[in-house]
Amino acid sequence: MKKYNFDEIIDRRGTDCFKWDALPSMYGRDDLLPMWVADMDFRSPDFVMDAIRKRCDHDVLGYTMPSKSYWNAVAGWLEKHYGIVLGEEREHYEELHFIPGIVAGIAYALLCLTQHGDKVMVTTPVYPPFLNLPKESQRTLVCSPLKIENGRFAIDFDDFEQKIDGCKLFIMSNPHNPAGTVWGAEVLRRIAEICERHNVIVISDEIHADLTLHGHKHVSYSTVSDKAKNHSITFMAPSKTFNIAGLGSSVCYIANRDLRKRFFGWLDALGVAGGNIFAFTAAEAAFAEGNEWLSQMLDYLKGNVQTLKTFVDEKMPQVKVVLPEASYLAWLDFAACGYEHKTLADKLINEAMVALNDGTTFGGDAYKCCFRMNLGCPKALLVEGLEKIRRVL
Ligand SMILES: Cc1ncc(COP(=O)(O)O)c(C=O)c1O
């Protein structure tokens, strides 16, 4: 069995990588330790790189299409890991569609399924594009704030049910970004009951699904009930799982035939079905060969989550942390440190010299004492970042 080395520090600067090379444009300086954008500083898996190199042996890069073996790898992954079993159209993978990215997929769904002014619901704090997409497309954004219960995010169902009335869509991060909350089957079933009653289509963004930690188990929304299956659009991707986000390779699953006809017809009209050569090649290799790499990588991430927890408990107890149950993002609340938002942000950037994601971008002023930290890096970098923060608090 091959042992992968996640301690290796790889210099990503100068590769047009957003996390490191966009620091000057996003934070005004290039000497920060980036712990923001949600990709990992680990080497992308060797079997994915090999598949891409092999495809490059052929010198024509003309139009492409998803192959049967690509669909087999995708469908196999969904069935094995999440119990998503394709129906009678299994032969032709009609319930699945390629999409170049999940943010794009959500945008396509918004444009296809809602009109100007329609109400679209999210639960905050949440991944910023969930807020920006409805706003920028002139939909009416409705936010239901999450509660913190026993150190984890939870849905405030009274607020949720009251606000969902009149909404056309609910966009859900499952697991939840910014803090990797794994919604259990019971919560998802309750969401499905409410959304069905209010005639709401649910978009379940499951990009972090493969990264569950510490015994948590991802439940795919469509599998919790017939109602959920019938009124949902599920997005999945190998991009976070295998650190190949730069390839733009995601998939959409819809069980409901009418919804599928409408949305997939729109995707085909937009011309996104053709995908791109490396997106298909990489996803197929990842899904077909990725189990061992993923399991070792998750063990490493668990170690990083533990490192964060121990560090905060022992050296920064004034910082409250929501630890991820899935993925590599943690939510840090600095309220007890007593700084104004601007001072806090300035301290982190210009004194600690770390780049975190500002909490306000996840839902406004309610989160002005919070920052999201990316733990998807070699442990040495994580500890370096934590030390830098501790010194300035
Ligand atoms: C919940 C969620 N959805 C979507 C994305 C981005 O997906 P894509 O790169 O496929 O657009 C991210 C990236 O951080 C995310 O956390």
- Give the end of a domain, one of 288, 314, 331: 288
Question: Is the confidence at residue 273, as pLDDT, over 90?
Answer: no
> How remote is the CA of residue 250 from the centroid of ligand 1, in Å?
10
Residue 55 falls inside a structural domain: no
Domain final residue, candidates 269, 288, 307: 288
Position 92 pLDDT exceeds 90: no
* pLDDT value of residue 2: 87
| Burial of residue 2 (number of CB atoms within 10 Å: 0-12, 13-18, 19+) | exposed
The answer, as to whether pTM is greater than 0.95, is yes
The yes-or-no verdict on residue 91 having pLDDT over 80 is no
Nearest-CA residue for atom 7 of ligand 1: 102
pLDDT for res 87: 85
CB 180 within 8 A of CB 326: yes
In the predicted model, what is the mean pLDDT of the chain?
97
Please indicate whether residue 177, judged by its CB atom, sits closer than 6 Å to ligand 1: yes
Q: How far is the CA of 245 from the centre of ligand 1 (A)?
A: 9
pLDDT at 194 over 90: yes
Q: Is the pLDDT of residue 179 over 80?
A: yes
170 and 283 part of one domain: yes
Ligand 1 center–CA 337 separation, angstroms: 31
Q: What range defines the domain where residue 373 resides?
A: 18-44+291-392
pLDDT, mean of residues 313-324: 97
In the chain, pLDDT over 90 holds for what percent of residues? Answer: 96
Percent over 70 (pLDDT), the chain = 99
Average pLDDT over residues 348-358: 98
Average pLDDT, stretch 110-116? Answer: 98
pLDDT of amino acid 183: 97
- Please tell me the predicted confidence (pLDDT) of residue 90: 67
Residue 282 domain-assigned (yes or no): yes
Is 244's C-beta closer than 6 angstroms to any atom of ligand 1?
no
Predicted local confidence at residue 340, as pLDDT: 95
Of 272, 288, 304, the domain-final residue: 288
Q: What is the pLDDT of residue 89?
A: 67
Sequence-distant contacts of 342-350: CB under 8 A, at least 24 apart: 344/369, 347/392, 347/393, 348/389, 348/392, 349/27, 349/28, 349/29, 349/32, 350/29
Tell me how many domains the chain contains.
Answer: 2
Residue 85 inside a domain? The answer is: yes
pLDDT exceeds cutoff 90 at 317:
yes
Give the sign of the dihedral formed by CA 344, CA 19, CA 245, CA 135: positive
Q: Does residue 24 lie in a domain region?
A: yes
Residue pair 228/237 in contact (Cβ under 8 Å)? The answer is no
Q: Domain containing 184 — which CATH number?
A: 3.40.640.10
Judge contact between 76 and 287, C-beta under 8 A: yes
Distance between Cα 103 and ligand 1 center (Å): 6
CATH number at residue 26: 3.90.1150.10
The verdict on 244 and 200 lying in the same domain is yes
Supply 265's token pair: 């017809």
Say if ligand 1 is within 6 A of residue 173 CB. yes
